[in-house]
Amino acid sequence: MGRQRRKLLGQNFLTCRDVAMIEAEIARGRDVIEIGPGRGILTHELCRCARRVLAVEIDRGLYDGYGEREGNLQLLNADFFAGDIETSSYDMLVSNIPYSMSSRTLAWLFAHRIEAVLCVQKEFAEHMMARNGGDRYSRLSVLTSLSFEVRKVVRVPAGCFRPRPKVDSMVVHMLPKRSDISTDDSRTITLLMEHKKKTLKSAVVDAREGLGLTKEGAREAARGLDGVDERVFKIAPERLLSIARALNGQRVTGSCKPGQ
């Protein structure tokens, strides 16, 4: 895989060993998965700290160019997200993921709910950790908060990568919560957050097609909710989840036909 393909993947390689050491220290004594080891600076530190490391690299050139392999390292040339890699025996994900893969990685973590240390774009991390009522509060904030406790580890200046990106990054430590969020819950939260600057009542009416409600059905559903005049972006994640479940119950009872 050539330089152009790496550019398409958004690969910026970490050059600061101090950052890699901080990330690896959190994984001390653990069984770790790494997505995209790249040139190996984090991988070498993980192998020094972790019990064993599974590093999955999609780029054949980087895979072939990897140097001396430590005894506790399994290096695979594969697409991690293809779904055919056995990951159940590992208890932690650590990765300096390409910016373009951030959302896909989060989706995998939501599904598998394991501990993670990620280096992501600073703005993306701020959205992950944003609280209700703030400008950065978004669907990502809600779903991340419901599934993980996210802690800031360290800010990483753009100069710590080659090629140098235009923005800084941030390392975050994600600890899974014991919560059960269904696909329907997530979908309904997404629909509401698409209208986050509106009142809850207006958001339900505007999202009625996606919710499978008629206009009158949406109004009726909204009347059954607490705080319908509150702006959606001011509602805390746990309450949004309760609202989503109430609205899903309305859809299940068949109060309407979609799109009317």
Q: pLDDT of 64-99, one tens digit each?
A: 998 888 999 999 999 999 988 999 999 999 999 989
**Which one of 150, 176, 202 terminates a domain?**
176
Residues with Cβ within 8 Å of 179's Cβ and at least 6 positions away in sequence, in order, are 146, 147
Q: pLDDT digit string (tens) for 114-147?
A: 999 999 999 999 999 999 999 999 999 999 999 9
**Which one of 144, 176, 208 terminates a domain?**
176
The three-point CA angle 149-151-153 to 5° equals 155
pLDDT at 83: 87
The CA distance from 256 to 260, in Å, is: 8
In a domain, 257, yes or no: no
Looking at the fold, whether 155 and 84 belong to one and the same domain comes out as: yes
Q: Of 73, 63, 19, which is closest to residue 41 (Cα–Cα)?
A: 19
The CA distance from 248 to 76, in Å, is: 42
Q: What is the CB neighbour count within 10 angstroms for residue 76?
A: 14
pLDDT at 251: 61
Looking at the fold, whether 195 and 154 belong to one and the same domain comes out as: no
CA atoms within 13 A on the CB side of 32: 32
**Which one of 161, 176, 191 terminates a domain?**
176
CA atoms within 13 A on the CB side of 133: 2
One-letter amino acid at 243 equals: I
**Residues written for the chain:** 260
Q: Which residue is it, tokens 């220290």?
A: 25
CATH number at residue 242: 1.10.8.100
Looking at the fold, whether 13 and 116 belong to one and the same domain comes out as: yes
One-letter amino acid at 33 equals: I
Looking at the fold, whether 119 and 215 belong to one and the same domain comes out as: no
How many domains does the structure of the chain reveal?
2
CATH number at residue 49: 3.40.50.150
Distances 116 to 29, 108, 126, 143, 190 between C-alpha atoms, Å: 14, 11, 16, 16, 23
pTM score above 0.85: yes
Residue ranges in the chain modelled with pLDDT below 70: 1-10, 251-260
In a domain, 93, yes or no: yes
